[in-house]
Chain A
Amino acid sequence: MNQQPYNSSELLICTASRLMEDGTTAFIGTGIPMLAAALAQRLHAPNLVPIFEFGGTGAILETLPLAVGGGCTFNRAVAASGIRDIVETAQRGFVEYGFLGGAQIDAYGNLNTTVIGEHDHPKVRLPGSGGGNDVGSHAWRTIAIMPHDRRRFVDRVDFITTPGYLTGPGARERAGLPRGTGPYRVVTTLAVLGFEPVGKRMQLLATQPGVSADDVAENTSFELLLADRVEQHPAPTAEELRILREEVDAEHLYI
């Protein structure tokens, strides 16, 4: 079968969607995670429970919100509460996955969404933590979704907005963060990455279609570990693309 063409947003959405497990709870932000969750609900994960930080639990994602608290985040949901309840639910260990983005990420999965440059005299003032730090602190497994280039995949982030593995093994626990939590996957335009279990450094698990392991390394500023066997991540399927384009984002707000 001929592969249909797709753009980088569609690639990220389809890749993230495949990581969403049926019957689990997942913190969903607006943008790509939201589209990925809507796609997953229509394909392999009808019982995915999306949790939106401002209070929506268990929405059925029929239309797309443009705002993180928009009506669709609690469309036919099972509960509509508030931010404190939602993050406390995660703090108690109820939320399995958290999806995050960022301007920069380092080898330990630490994320920056606060400043480029010095905090008190920034070159670029970014929005700040928002719910990012809360999600990265409490979700059992966090998944970062980002375009992949050397400016984003840096040796040291300018500011640790959201904790990854911080300085390495044991650092999260020493800081008091919940035991057994941390970065799980990084989904990019070039690859799917994980974290080496002992040293907690980022490692290449699979390359996106048409991308080589060398391409990924060249677009990463830190030394990238390779999994024993680096897989080829399959391209978005015709069905994924059809549902994404015709049902999930028919108005093409994001894709």
Chain B
Amino acid sequence: MDRTLAGTHPALHPETLRILESGIGDLIQPPDVEGFREWNRAKDKRLVDKRMTEAEAVRRFVKPGNYLGTELYGTVRCPMSVVHEIIRQGIGDLRVAGQGVLELDMLLGASLVKALDITYIGLEVYGLSNCLRREVESGRVERCVEWSNAGIAWRFKAAAMGVPFIPVRSMLGSDTLKYSAAKVIECPFTGMPIALLPALILDVGIIHVHRADACGNAQIDGISGFAFEMARASKRLIVSAEEIVDTEVIRRRPDRTTIPYYLVDAVVEAPFGAHPGEMCYRYARDEEQIRRWVEASKEPATTADFLKKHVFDVPDHQAYLALFGEEHLQKLREPAGRAG
């Protein structure tokens, strides 16, 4: 490239950006930022009551083949009550972004996932995800496109910014990049190789929070993972909350709002909505139940038995909680429960 042209008018001496490497992974969800703007323009901006059950939220907003995102960290704030309902309704052929522990493990265990933008799906302290292994090694998950954890969060950030990509220095030089859909270019300002990650716009985002009002203004206590970014990268957003509060509670402390109402399509009241995972300052994880799932997930038949008992044979989240009983749940509550 002729550097002497760098200071002259670009229209007279156009320079071509050099693409140094292109990941060979599929771009499972192309970054249609113009379509996203139009979608967002059409969204209802009135402060209206959006409360509904898990069943109604999933029926209205989650369709077969949708691109889905769940927000969580490890077993913390996993939106389990909504994911149970997706499994109950058997909505399949899903494309999913994951970072996932309990909730994606179960979606995979129910064979509802067709394609993955994957960063981490596993059982943390309990090791590899049996369901991920079965679904990917058998080819039932047709595509696995690789990213780093921050890579996925940055892709949401790009969508939240309303731009088609974001430049980052993760993933360079690795097979993680080679099997992603990222590109490496020569930075036009420094000449260094830099990775461009495409914006990831979700058909449906699902986030479990500590409290929300009826309109969907939502607050999260403690660390916030990638909730801020993912909420803003979702065309449809289902928020489930431990507690529904009066809008005045939100208005008293607006600085605490992570997710403003206009992003939200459904508000689901779900106490213990992250069970058997944890919610900081509210309840600890239910180790016995997590171990039961880890054990059950090892074989297809026992996975099916587990899902029958905890999902298909209970009509809703209240009935699910009744399987455990108030006395058991009370033991998990802070400060008695071990705070993760």
Contact = CB atoms under 8 A, between A and B. Distances in A.
Nearest to A123: B137
A121 B150 CA distance: 26
B167 to A, nearest CB: 10
A82 B226 contact: yes
A211 interface: no
Contacts of B222: 55, 71, 74, 80
Interface residues of A, number: 60
B173 A126 contact: no
A175 to B, nearest CB: 3
Quick one: which of A30, A87, A88, A172 has the most chain B CB within 10 A? Answer: A87
B32 interface: no
Contact of A80 (B128, B171, B223): B223
A243 interface: no
Nearest to B160: A84
Contacts of A123: 137
Interface in A111-157: 114, 119, 121-134, 137-138
Interface string B246-282: 0000000000000000000000000000000110110
B153 A83 contact: yes
A83 B173 CA distance: 22
Given A130-B149, A134-B148, A67 B136 contact: no
B151 interface: yes
B184 A176 contact: yes
B118 A128 contact: yes
A52 B172 CA distance: 22
A178 B169 contact: yes
B157 A84 contact: yes
Contacts of A134: 148-151, 170
A129 B184 contact: no
Main secondary structure of the interface of A (DSSP, over half): loop
A39 B136 CA distance: 38
Interface string B59-95: 0000000000000111111000000000000000000
Contacts of B74: 30, 54, 66-70
Contact of A84 (B125, B153, B169, B184): B153
Interface residues of B, number: 64
A171 B278 contact: no
Nearest to A178: B169
A84 B150 CA distance: 6
B114 interface: no
Interface stretch (B7-15, B44-52, B192-200, B324-332): B192-200
Interface in A39-84: 52-56, 63, 65-75, 80-84
Given A69-B223, A133-B148, A124 B133 contact: yes
A65 B133 contact: no
A66 B285 contact: yes
Contacts of A88: 150
Contacts of A68: 73-74, 124
Contacts of A84: 150, 153-154, 157, 226, 228-229
A174 B172 CA distance: 10
A164 B4 CA distance: 37
Interface string B12-51: 0000000000000000000000000000000000000000
Interface in A78-121: 80-84, 87-88, 91, 114, 119, 121
Contacts of B307: none
Closest 7 CB pairs of A and B: A69-B73, A67-B74, A175-B173, A70-B340, A176-B193, A55-B223, A127-B122
Interface of B: 72-77, 99, 101, 118-122, 124-125, 128-129, 132-133, 136-137, 139, 144, 146-151, 153-154, 157, 168-176, 179, 184, 192-195, 222-229, 277-278, 280-281, 285, 287, 338-340
Given A128-B118, A162-B174, 15 more contacts: A63-B338, A66-B124, A67-B340, A69-B223, A70-B285, A81-B224, A83-B73, A125-B128, A128-B119, A129-B147, A130-B148, A132-B148, A171-B173, A174-B173, A175-B173
